[in-house]
Amino acid sequence: MTKIVFFLGKGGVGKTTSSAVFAYYLANKGKSVYWMSIDPAHNICDVIDAQPFKGVKNIYKSLFAEEIDVDNYLKNFIKKTTKNMKETYKYLQIINLDKMFEVMKYSPGMEEYAIMYALKDKIEQNTDKDYIIIDTPPTGLMLKIFALPFTSQLWIEKLTVWRKKIINQRSAIANINADKIDKELAIKEEDDKVLKELGMQSSTVTFLTKMFQNKKTTKTVIVLNQDEMSLNESKKIKQGLDYMDIPLNLVIVNKKGMTEVKTEVESYFKDVHIEEMGFVKSGRFEPRNMSKTVKWTQWLENE
Amino acid sequence: MFDEFLKNLSYFVEGFKEQSTSVLELQLYEMENAFALLSFGSLMGMPSPPSYMGMALLPFLEHEIKVMIFKSDRLDDKLADFFDLSDI
């Protein structure tokens, strides 16, 4: 079964680096790995010191990397909706619908939505791999992405119940007097396009919520540094994960030894396994070499 | 003679039919209005459900939107609505 590992944390703590270390470690062990970044500000190519690339790229042994094009997912969604709108509302042709919807791209929640769909899409495409490693955007956005399927599910359930009531009512009226219901309106649940759309969305969000909460296959790792700020943000992540019932498996204190500051990582994350990764004082950080010396990778693999 | 009687009887039945669904229709109307309002929560200043969901449903809710607009149009004339309801 494919294991899915999320790397979470404050911006700049070393999420991408840690995920790179783990990805190379697994590839060296002969596992097939799909390593993706859903952060709109990608930096996989910086970490592996490569030119920016599009789509999936085989970067090392059986390690495949991809920086998800979130914008593309958004564009596709908007294109699909615009097309549907034009088909249904013929008179809208005169208005410049494309421009109107183009602006929707910047509406609150749209980016999270696109990332949510990208996640589902990419995970489904890569179920043949042993591991899927996900490098995430910083805390604020990632917690919203985690929460979106849960809130959506709530709404989809309620809207579906309402919609079914409407369809039942229509069919009841049509049974007595067929002329009373417009011929174009659906009177059977299976003919209703709204229910169909809700069903499709429901299958996506259920897939994601189940995946997030699956303790066997999904692992989450928080990366933090030896400072109060990243610790405080990590606490927020932990609270968010607890609220959504998503398990937390590992906390990595990255850049250990960079400062002398003492933090209370151990006292806050009592029930979670904590590991350290030392600060590389000189020279370039090479995830491929680092993966051979770091110890937490083995722990995470066996978890 | 008998045919005439049957014909009149059928008018009766039609009339009953007409009346029997009117309450159901009214209820359906309210439900469709509520569904449109729920789907486009942002219209009421409530940014929920997530905006993408409203956008995905938008192409299939022409009828509901019409009902919603019609209903909203008459919100300032509740008296007329009441008379309509009580068939006066």
User: Looking at residue A205, what is its pLDDT?
Assistant: 94
User: Looking at residue A92, what is its pLDDT?
Assistant: 65
Query: Peptide bond before B49: cis, by omega within 30 degrees of 0?
Result: yes
User: With an 8 Å Cβ cutoff, is B37 touching chain A?
Assistant: no
User: With an 8 Å Cβ cutoff, is A183 touching chain B?
Assistant: no
Residue A93 has pLDDT above 70, yes or no: no
User: With an 8 Å Cβ cutoff, is A190 touching chain B?
Assistant: no
Q: Are B43 and B37 in contact (CB under 8 A)?
A: yes
Average pLDDT, chain A: 88
Report the residue of chain B nearest A161, measured CA to CA.
B35
pLDDT 10s digits, A218-239: 999 999 998 888 999 999 999 9
Give the separation between CA B63 and CA B67, rounded to whole angstroms: 6
3 state DSSP class of A78: helix
The beta strand positions in A10-145, using DSSP E, are 33-37, 57-60, 63-67, 131-135
User: Looking at residue A238, what is its pLDDT?
Assistant: 94
Residue A94 pLDDT class (50, 70, 90 cuts): low
Residue A78 has pLDDT above 90, yes or no: no
Report the residue of chain A nearest B34, measured CA to CA.
A162
Domains of chain A with bracketed CATH: 3-71+110-302 (3.40.50.300)
Q: How far is B4 from chain A (nearest CA, A)?
A: 23
pLDDT 10s digits, A126-179: 999 999 999 999 988 999 999 999 999 999 999 999 999 999 999 999 998 888
Residue A121 has pLDDT above 80, yes or no: yes
- The interface residues of chain A toward chain B in range 121-160, judged by CB-CB distance below 8 A, are 148, 151-152, 155-156, 158-159
Over its C-alpha atoms, chain A yields an Rg (Å, rounded) of: 23
What sign does the dihedral A115-A85-A100-B55 (CA atoms) show? Answer: negative
Weakest mean pLDDT among A74-78, A132-136, A192-196:
A74-78
Q: How far is A80 from chain B (nearest CA, A)?
A: 9
Residue A42 has pLDDT above 90, yes or no: no
List chain B residues with CB under 8 Å of A77. Answer: 52, 56
User: With an 8 Å Cβ cutoff, is A89 touching chain B?
Assistant: yes
**Would you list the DSSP string of A172-223?**
HHHHH-GGGS-TTS--SGGG-HHHHHHHHHHHHHHHHHHHHH-TTTEEEEEE
Contacts of A45 (CB under 8 A, 6+ apart): A51, A52, A53, A67
Question: Which residue ranges of chain B lie beneath pLDDT 70?
Answer: none
